[in-house]
Amino acid sequence: MDVQTLTYLFVGVSFALYIGIAIWSKVGSTREFYIAGGGVHPVVNGMATAADWMSAASFISMTGLIAFLGYDGSVYLMGWTGGYVLLALLLAPYLRKFGKFTVPDFIGDRYYSKSARLVAILCLIIISFTYVAGQMRGVGIVFSRFLEIEIEMGVLTGMAIVFMYAVLGGMKGITYTQVAQYCVLIFAYTVPAIFISMLVTGNPVPQLGLGSEVADTGKTVLETLDTVLVDLGFNAYTEGTKSTIDIFAITAALMVGTAGLPHVIVRFFTVPKVSDARVSAGWALVFIALLYTTAPAVGAFARINFINEVNETSYAETPAWFKNWENLGLIGWADKNGDGKVQYRAGAPFEGTPSFEEDKRGPHGERVVVNTATPSANEVYVDRDIMVLANPEIAKLPDWVFALVAAGSLAAALSTAAGLLLVISSSVSHDLFKMTLMPEITDKQELLYARLAAAIAIGVAGYLGINPPGFVAEVVALAFGLAAASLFPAILMGIFSRKMNREGAIAGMISGLFFTVGYITYFKFMNPDLNTAANWFFGISPEGIGTLGMVVNFIVAYGVMKLTKSPPQEVGELIESIRIPSGAGAGHHH
């Protein structure tokens, strides 16, 4: 069987599995739709959380980022795992004890205010839509590269699948498809990683391969990379280029942002008991760590392989993957010195991302790049996102591995998209309609609204996937920054401070939100030329500004609280109740 057939087979079988689960898990009440009836086993929930959390960004982009950033890539590894410690220790058990359906539910009840609930809905929707646009784009890229289908068709297929299990099965359908998707994605990630680790170092465990010697050289993987990269004019792989304060702020923003993401938090509403919420966070991190500790090894191997295969190779002799990705516009080569060979060096090869002349080929058969060349000796542009997808080809692995990676990246993108769409739809049907606008609707009507909201959200997400706003990459920072600066502090103070009141929490969320959005907009969209360390507050880049936004939130909230009335008696009782585990109403088993 050729690669194409195999890929169709793998993707087809995995999709059939998801649809089967969708039909099996059809739900009949809002409690099942929002939180799967509260009866999910903690290990199962841990696995579903891992798939929910690990998106196209984790599966496709992160390894490439680490490969090209080296030590600086650590911010993603620590940031996207350390958040689970905060979640397990500071939020999950208490929110499970609270025992309702959504994050705005908690903020609305704890701060006895519809306005607080509305601000929380606003934050949730901005965060979740920016995030889901990226997932749908990931689906489109995979379809177009692996199945050679138009991006539009790819996105539509993805939408249809998510529609089936999210609209029919709600949280219950999503939970069990996420378990299946986790299995697909972790298998698809680790199999090529083991192959590549064997090829490069002879050690089958990638985590150990990272420190092993490159076959027949007597130097370890990282030593080899350090030497090679310095020779080519890059920084050493194990040393960063970002300032310590920026690394610190980005890591903190990603950690706190992770803990504040509504689609992750809400997963902990689905387990039967408070102690289950704690242990479930532990299992989630185990399942995440399997991929996250493998990623730095894969990144390092990929960078070595990339340099070996491409640098100083004549264009005619470059491997097929190089030309395939060039055809998609994700690799671009300009033969600046006219020697017909690809020189890979530090610095941008030309300004911006490559634009090509239609249907024209250069003297060596390459696509003709029309961008203005830079003075650097580098001739090749490579999109970081292709590393994981190209890895099986670069390492010359068998065709079925290639097909597996396609199915895995789709699983990663779809599982996260579904989780996001669910929190969007439940915040609309539950928080906006049932709790704010039309409290008189029945459970059946609310369920119908939830399904409608999910369907509309899928439509919007699909539209964003087909017509991606140019700023998708930039807005991921926004999603984390916003979660860190708005929702996380409000929830944390709601649990750990008896005195924090409505006025303080609302003022805190709004100022955190505006500060963070303002800073990111100013540097990313209004004045991209000024986006350099010299102009940043305390040398903190827009990616890390959520950390400062969080501090702003805490300070404003505290100041306003001091000047306004303390919360009413009932809130004191609510706080007492969420602080102890006993009495957390049991869920039912599936």
Partner 1 sequence: MGTENKDGYWKANISLLLKLLVIWFVVSFGAGILFVDFLNQFEVLGVKLGFWFAQQGSIYVFVGLIFYYTRRMRKIDEEHGVED
Nearer to partner 1, 73 or 489 (CB): 73
Question: Residue 576 CB, nearest distance to partner 1 (Å)?
Answer: 7
Inter-residue long-range contacts of 528-537, CB under 8 Å, 24+ positions, other chains counted: 533/243, 533/246, 536/246
Name the maximum alpha-carbon separation found in the chain: 79
Query: According to CB under 8 A, which residues from 89 to 118 bind partner 1?
Result: 89-90, 93
Interaction of residue 569 with partner 1, rule CB under 8 A: no
Using the minimum distance from each CB to partner 1, give the nearer residue, 213 or 399.
213
Out of 68, 71, 131, 163, the only residue in the binding site for partner 1 (CB under 8 A) is 71
By CB under 8 A, residue 577 contacts partner 1? no
- CA–CA gap between residue 40 and residue 38 (Å, rounded): 6
Q: How far apart are CA 161 and CA 15, in angstroms?
A: 7
Q: Is 580 in the site for partner 1 (CB under 8 A)?
A: yes
C-alpha torsion angle, residues 562, 563, 566, 571 (rounded to 10): -80
Q: Is 82 in the site for partner 1 (CB under 8 A)?
A: yes
Question: And the tokens for 260?
Answer: 């504040």
Residue whose pair of structure tokens reads 């017509």 in the numeric block = 467
> Least CB distance from residue 238 to partner 1, whole Å?
5
For residue 60, give both structure tokens. 């496709």
- Tell the smallest beta-carbon distance from residue 279 to partner 1 (Å): 5
CA torsion 351→353→358→361, rounded to 10°? 70
492 vs 89, 148, 400, 575, CA distance in Å?
11, 47, 46, 12
576 is a contact residue toward partner 1 (CB under 8 A): yes
Asked if 259 is part of the footprint of partner 1 (rule: CB under 8 A), the reply reads no
**Structure token digits, residue 540:** 């903190």
Query: Closer CB to partner 1, residue 293 or residue 374?
Result: 293
355 contacts 319 by C-beta, under 8 angstroms: no
Among 21, 51, 56, 77, binds partner 1 (CB under 8 A): 77
Closest to partner 1 by CB, 38 or 462: 38
Interacting residues with partner 1 between 205 and 244 (CB under 8 A): 207-208, 210-213, 220, 222, 238, 244
Find the binding residues for partner 1 in span 40-69 (CB under 8 A).
66
CA–CA gap between residue 39 and residue 32 (Å, rounded): 9
Which of residues 218, 439, 470, 583 is near partner 1 by CB under 8 A? 583
Contacting partner 1 within 14-33 (CB under 8 A): none
* Closest by CA position to 61, among listed 314, 402, 299, 326: 299
Residue 88 touching partner 1 (CB under 8 A): yes
Q: Give whichever of 271 and 421 is closer to partner 1, judged by the CB atom.
A: 271
Q: Are 16 and 147 in contact (CB under 8 A)?
A: no
Residue 336 φ then ψ, to 5°:
-65, -40
Residue 492 exposure: Cα atoms within 13 Å on the Cβ side: 24
Size of residue set near partner 1 by CB under 8 A: 50
Q: From CA 326, how far away is CA 65, in angstroms rounded?
A: 19
Other CB atoms within a 10 A radius of the CB of residue 208 amount to: 12
> CA-based angle 73:247:232, to the nearest 5?
50
* Contacting partner 1 within 269-308 (CB under 8 A): 273-275, 278-279, 281-282, 285-286, 289, 292-293, 296
Least Cβ distance, residue 562 to partner 1 (angstroms): 23
Residues, the chain, total?
Answer: 590
131 contacts 114 by C-beta, under 8 angstroms: no
Contact call for residue 497 and partner 1 (CB under 8 A)? no
Q: What is the closest distance, in whole angstroms, from the C-beta atom of residue 257 to partner 1 in the complex?
A: 15
Looking at the Cβ atoms of 66 and 479, the one nearer to partner 1 is 66
Q: How far is the CB of 384 from partner 1 (least distance, A)?
A: 17
Minimum CB separation of residue 498 from partner 1 in Å reads 11
Q: Which is nearer to partner 1, 118 or 236 (CB)?
A: 236
Nearer to partner 1, 71 or 350 (CB): 71
Give the amino acid at 476. Answer: V
- 50 neighbors 185 (Cβ within 8 angstroms): no
> From residue 116 to residue 145, what is the string marking binding to partner 1 with x (rule CB under 8 A)?
------------------------------
We find the least distance from the C-beta atom of residue 579 to partner 1, in angstroms, to be 6
Distance of closest approach, residue 459 Cβ to partner 1, in angstroms:
37
Taking each continuous run of H as one helix and of E as one strand, the counts in the chain are 24, 6
Q: Which residues bind partner 1 (CB under 8 A)?
A: 66, 71, 73-74, 77-78, 81-82, 84-86, 88-90, 93, 207-208, 210-213, 220, 222, 238, 244, 247-248, 251-252, 255, 273-275, 278-279, 281-282, 285-286, 289, 292-293, 296, 576, 579-584
